[in-house]
Amino acid sequence: MRLDGQDNQRSISTLSRPHLCPWLHTVPHLFSLYGTLLANGIFSLSPFVLDNCDDPLASLLSPVAFSSSSDLNGTHIPAQLNRRVGTGGWSPADSNAQQWLQMDLGNRVEITAVATQGRYGSSDWVTSYSLMFSDTGRNWKQYKQEDSIWTFAGNMNADSVMHHKLLYSVRARFVRFVPLEWNPSGKIGMRVEVYGCSYKSDIADFDGRSSLLYRFNQKLMSTLKDVISLKFKSMQGDGVLFHGEGQRGDHITLELQKGRLALHLNLDDSKPRLSSSPPSATLGSLLDDQHWHSVLLERVGKHVNFTVDRHTQHFRTKGEADALDIDYELSFGGIPVPGKPGTFLKKNFHGCIENLYYNGVNIIDLAKRRKHQIYTGNVTFSCSEPQIVPITFVNSSSSYLLLPGTPQIDGLSVSFQFRTWNKDGLLLSTTLSEGSGTLLLSLEDGTLRLVIQKMTERAAEILTGSDLNDGLWHSVTINARRNRITLTLDNDAASPAQDTTRMQIYSGNRYYFGGCPDNLTDSQCLNPIKAFQGCMRLIFIDNQPKDLISVQQGSLGNFSDLHIDLCSIKDRCLPNYCEHGGSCSQSWMTFYCNCSDTGYVGATCHNSLYEQSCEVYRHQGNTAGFFYIDSDGSGTLGPFQVYCNITEDKIWTLVQHNNTELTHVRGASAEKPYSMTLDYGGSLEQLEAVIDGSEHCEQEVSYHCKRSRLLNTPDGTPLTWWIGRSNERHPYWGGAPPGVQQCDCGLDESCLDIRHFCNCDADKDEWTNDTGFLSFKDHLPVTQIVITDTNRSNSEAAWRIGPLRCYGDRHFWNAVSFYTEASYLHFPTFHAEFSADISFFFKTTALSGVFLENLGIKDFIRLEISSPSEVTFAIDVGNGPIELIVRSSSPLNDNQWHYVWAERNLKETSLQVDNLPRMTRETSEEGHFRLQLNSQLFVGGTSSRQKGFLGCIRSLHLNGQKLDLEERAKVTSGVRPGCPGHCSSYGRICHNGGKCVEKHSGYFCDCTNSPYEGPFCRKEVSAVFEAGTSVTYMFQEPYPVTKNISLSSSAIYADSTPSKENIALSFVTAQAPSLLLCINSSSQGYLAVLLCKNGSLQVRYQLSKEEIHVFTIDTENFANRRLHHLKINREGRVLTIQMDEHLRLSYNFSSEVEFRDIRSLTLGKVTGLFFLSIAIAKYCIFIQFGHLLFYKLANVSPCTFGGYLYDWICLCLLIFYLSTFPVILACSFLFSQSQYSAENISNPRHFKQEWI
């Protein structure tokens, strides 16, 4: 019978009628690959505790079930909840961080909740505590939530009960309460209760030389779906948990490898076997800690979910097959060699397995009942627990353990095991007896270093091992006798490291492990590096084991900042919180992300290196070129390269593909079609993000044809089509809208044959074409073209699909205006548990106001302008609120656009405003770290409608996602779409007299009255003159503007008789003499700029026949193939001549100077004036006279040309010297391509020039 399942965790499926049967076997057909299965005893890994499992477990315990670190009155019965007898509860002898209260529940139980009270009738209560659990009363495990040691809120008085339901239920026999904080006016005092229910399980113990075999009833077990679940605990980092294989190559193996679980799964017969194939998936870490770990493997065909301790990895197996074919048997605990009893292919598992289910079959239960399917090796059905006591050194400056030794023994023997993430730390320091020196064992850069040193002798040094800070257990043994010392790592007796000394070695009486006491006054402990942070166990001195519980009880040795009877190592790289492929490394206290070659930066590789669009690059002042864009910023889409055409008013984004050339096609038919798939260098999702974020996109498509039909219009089946973003066929061509099987000519009825809607559908023997633009964004980009009609006689086609072209950033200028304090926009909850980045622009005149706010039950996030010069970022992830404040020396409520960027990740919280210094605060390594929000996101205000923001917010991004503020504002009162006044903030971007012109979505620079052009009016307009070339512009008599003269022309006539001169001239030449400029008046006056024969520059004024003024600048030869800038400014009697950056000349005329009736402006050879009739040499020149750009005048009035003039972007090479190496820079000026090169530049000089 097949039943419908559930689509959630709570619903239940029922039978339509009852059935009488001795056995019920549930076989899943389809299940959630992101959930778990609960059937036939397969347990759920849901994070929720069990229902109906809340019985009090401690109230009926006998007094002997309680123990503690110390006790104030010697009895523990009052430690039970609500008991008032005796002293009213438990209090330790001293209230400090080393105290604990423990109970033995008798058996392993399911624990779902805990509760606490203070000590009755006193001022003693605990305000916060942690929990630890154990199966044996040794090797404790701390309770964690969110992968952090969890702190429970305690009591505020002695009587009230504080109850906590555990998010994750715990199975254990022993429970320990560890007070962290208590009433400062009293002492530690507790009464406790534990809630839960009984727990039953099937356990098998494997000794490392045994296994279980599950034999199938048939020779071959072929499954399309598998569910395998188990729990295990082990002290060994390697061992096979289960294995099965088929004779044709299928296999499945789960094994421990260096404390991690590796899954090998192969469904393809052609793939290599286990011994030569890498794991399909690897999960978990530090799994050799002798604690229970849960495993769940779910497979449906090639889709696999692999879960270890609530961390799930989903992957798809390779190969063609969907079924897993296993021959004869599955083995658990090892891989036995057929025909060789007791022989195994790989290292066996050593530890315990609990509740082992294979596709609903309880394997351990079958083995316990000795069913015929199970063949049992040396396996027992209870878990043997080694009584090993680990210790943790928690502080890198103050942790240490002092243990006594036996002095003056001839020789020395010390051994122990350690594990750590730190590269450096002291492991052991001891002073040897009889003055035989000091022994130091340390970890330095991941290598063991043993030194025995004495002031008068050469130090004996031994180095061994590498990368020992890998988190794995490593064993160390030091043996010394007479003058020989041996250091053995990881029991490698075959190759121990050895050295000899001249001195006899005698054992000391004090052994310091991990560090030295702060108050040590003698030289009994030396530590040249920092203290050790990590775990140790199995410490032997002089071949005698050391009882670390006695250390904890104060009867042996001494210690500081140790956790005894637990190893609290944590893998901070599991899961890997480094985003976008960043690699994770760690120390004991934190983790680090290497973001190299990811395209992202930041503490967790969260922030993209690249901007989100060409519009943003343009706003930063960039010009046309190739750029990487990351359309979703810190989102999952990566960056890819586009070409940004920033030379026009519209900023075009061009995405090239792999076939932009005209491609000819012959021999294609419906049976054998021609197809070409286009590769844009980015994923389809990346392209869609560019298209969706643009105002307009288009692609030009051309189909050239000769007896090759295109769409077969008007009503035939299309013979050529293209595929778009949704992988659908589109039978329309460029220029036509979607849904219309036409070409561009069909819309305006201009096709070659009016009976068809495409030129090519006329099926002519001559070449023709259909060309147009596809612009429906939901169908773009073109990903494939298919052609089927080029197989007839004399039939041929050629196609070309241009690059994807888009303009307009829909989000960068997306802005709203808030004009009432009670108004706000609301959006769905901001989900950002681990990483959150928020960026936007704002402008305001208000004193304060909230930009955005999102609330949770306890957590929240808020950004606001808290004063005219402060922006505040406040956030609480459950550890208490923190605030970051950026202060500006100038007001931020100046009605100018300001940029805000805020980020929170697991490493730090940051806030930056404009280019002010970034404020950063590191995140605590422990405690809550998930940001859990559940309210709506409020923008421009708060849920309380108080402290609302007045002003404009623009380009709001949350984790790379763009919020459409304008669309939401259209339906919200008190908020208007858009925000005027962009030029007030960005007008300075328009240079050289360019005018900033406001648009709804941004601005543009009007360069009409500037001598420059380009998007920012920074590109010089210049020309190349050949010898004998001249250009003359004739000024006309002033008269009213006619309809044929533009507004810019009318400005020319208005200034034809200026009262002052303002001339800017840039030139490059290699020849002298040369005339650069001549301005003539009708009264025979002129102003001339020329280069003399020696290369000096002259400026000549002739105001009348009698009055000539000559000004010469002869500081260098200006005909030196370098760019020079000349500015001439005269106002009234004062004349100023500026040459390049430093040469400046001023002159005062004796009387008022004024040009009248200016007639012409000439560049190049001038006839009629003998001293100006110089044959001009080839040069490149740029000229501005007043507000007029000379080379733009030809567009509005006629010019007279003589010789050859090239409208050219003048090219040059600049050479300067950096130290002794010449550096050649290409820049956008200078004269000829053919005449100018690095070789003919003589006497290069240091030159500084800014070009954008």
660-677+692-809: CATH topology is Jelly Rolls (2.60.120)
Q: End-to-end distance of the chain based on CA atoms, in angstroms?
A: 75
- Taking CB atoms within 8 Å and a gap of at least 24, the contacts of 1212-1216 are 1212/1068, 1212/1123, 1212/1236, 1213/1237, 1213/1238, 1213/1241, 1214/1247, 1214/1249, 1215/1241, 1215/1244, 1216/1244, 1216/1245, 1216/1246, 1216/1247
Residues 6+ apart with CB under 8 A from 916: 886, 887, 888
Q: Please give the CATH number for the structural domain made up of 203-380.
A: 2.60.120.200
Query: pLDDT means per 10 residues in the chain (1252 residues)?
Result: 46 45 45 39 42 90 90 74 86 92 95 96 95 95 88 95 95 97 95 95 92 89 95 95 88 94 84 67 95 96 94 88 89 77 74 96 92 84 91 92 86 94 96 82 95 75 93 94 86 71 79 88 78 96 93 92 94 93 95 95 95 91 91 92 86 93 94 95 94 95 96 90 94 93 92 93 94 96 96 95 94 92 93 94 95 94 96 94 96 95 96 96 86 94 87 95 93 91 81 82 81 80 73 61 36 48 82 84 82 89 77 88 86 86 80 72 64 45 52 50 47 30 30 30 27 24
Note the pLDDT of residue 1165: 67
Q: Tokens at residue 288, please?
A: 């050799």
Residue given tokens 């709001």 in the structure block: 956
Note the pLDDT of residue 826: 93
Q: Tokens at residue 356, please?
A: 């082992």
CB 811 within 8 A of CB 693: yes
Residues 6+ apart with CB under 8 A from 298: 31, 33, 36, 37, 226, 227, 304, 305, 307
Note the pLDDT of residue 1109: 84
Note the pLDDT of residue 1156: 66
Q: Tokens at residue 1023, please?
A: 């020309």
Nearest Cα neighbor of 416 from 531, 304, 512 is 512
Q: Tell me if domain 57-198 and domain 391-564 are identical in fold.
A: yes
Q: Where are the domains of the chain?
A: 57-198, 203-380, 391-564, 660-677+692-809, 815-979, 1021-1040+1052-1207
Q: What is the DSSP string of 1221-1245?
A: EEEEEEES--S-TTT--STT--S--
Phi then psi dihedrals of residue 983, to 5 deg: -70, -25
- CATH top-level class of 815-979: mainly beta
Amino acid at residue number 842: F
Note the pLDDT of residue 343: 53
For the entire predicted model, the pTM comes to 0.78
Residues 6+ apart with CB under 8 A from 522: none
Note the pLDDT of residue 623: 85
CB 529 within 8 A of CB 447: no
Instruction: Kindly report the length of the chain.
Output: 1252
Please give the Cα distance from 989 to 646 (Å, whole number).
Answer: 14
Nearest Cα neighbor of 1206 from 1012, 1011, 1018, 1026 is 1026
* 262-264-265 Cα angle (round to 5): 140
Q: Please give the CATH number for the structural domain made up of 1021-1040+1052-1207.
A: 2.60.120.200
Please give the Cα distance from 875 to 884 (Å, whole number).
Answer: 9
CB 5 within 8 A of CB 30: yes
Instruction: Match domain 391-564 to its CATH number in 3.40.50.920, 3.40.50.970, 2.60.120.200, 3.30.565.10.
Output: 2.60.120.200
Q: Which CATH superfamily is domain 57-198 in?
A: Galactose-binding domain-like (2.60.120.260)
Please give the Cα distance from 1098 to 51 (Å, whole number).
Answer: 99
Note the pLDDT of residue 1239: 29
